[in-house]
Amino acid sequence: MKHVRLVCAIASFVAFFGVLPTPAAAQSFGGRVGVSADPDQFYFGLHYETKPLVDHLVFRPNIEIGVGDDTTLAALNFEFAYKFQAPKGAWKFYAGGGPALNIYSGDRGAEPGFNILLGIGHKDGLFFEVKVGAIDSPNFKFGVGYVFK
C-alpha cells in the first residue's frame, strides 16, 4: 500500500508539469544530485522551471528521491526562486523556498515540510544549491545540478 501512494504522488507531480501554462521557449528542466542530513541520504531528482512570474521570480517545482539511513524519501518540493540581478558575469545568485510533501518509506508515510534555499547558477546550466528544511523536510541538503536549456 505504501508503494501505491508513492507511485500515485509521483504520477500526480509529473502530470502537474504537463499543465503549466508557459511558452516552450521560456521554460527549462534540469537534474540534480546531492547529500542530505537528518536523514543522512544521497538524493537525486528533477526540476522544472517556469518563465519569470513577476520580475525575477520563477516557480521551480522539483522531485528528489533520497536513499540511505534505512529509509527512502520522495520529496515533492513546490519552490519559488528569486534570481538576483548581478553585474555582467557568468554566475548568478538565487534564493527562495516553498512547501514540500515528504513521502517516507515505512510507517511514517506522507509528512508536510518547508524548504529555504540558496544557490548559484552558471549561464551554461551548472548550479550549486543549499537547502535548509523545516517541519518534516530533511534538515540540510547540498546539491549539484544542471539546467537543460
Average pLDDT, the chain: 87
- What is the model's pLDDT at position 108? 85
| Total number of domains in the chain | 1
- CATH number reported for the structural domain that contains residue 99 in this entry: 2.40.160.20
Which residues fall within 8 angstroms of residue 113, CB to CB, at 6 or more apart?
Answer: 75, 99, 100, 101, 102, 133, 134, 135, 136, 137
Beta-sheet pairing, 140-148 with 57-68: unpaired
pLDDT in tens, 93-145: 999 999 999 999 988 899 999 999 999 999 999 999 999 999 999 999 999 99
| Overall average pLDDT of the 84-98 stretch | 91
- What is the model's pLDDT at position 12? 52
Q: Which domain holds residue 12?
A: 2-148
Beta-sheet pairing, 126-135 with 28-37: unpaired
pLDDT score of 71 more than 50: yes
| Overall average pLDDT of the 60-73 stretch | 96
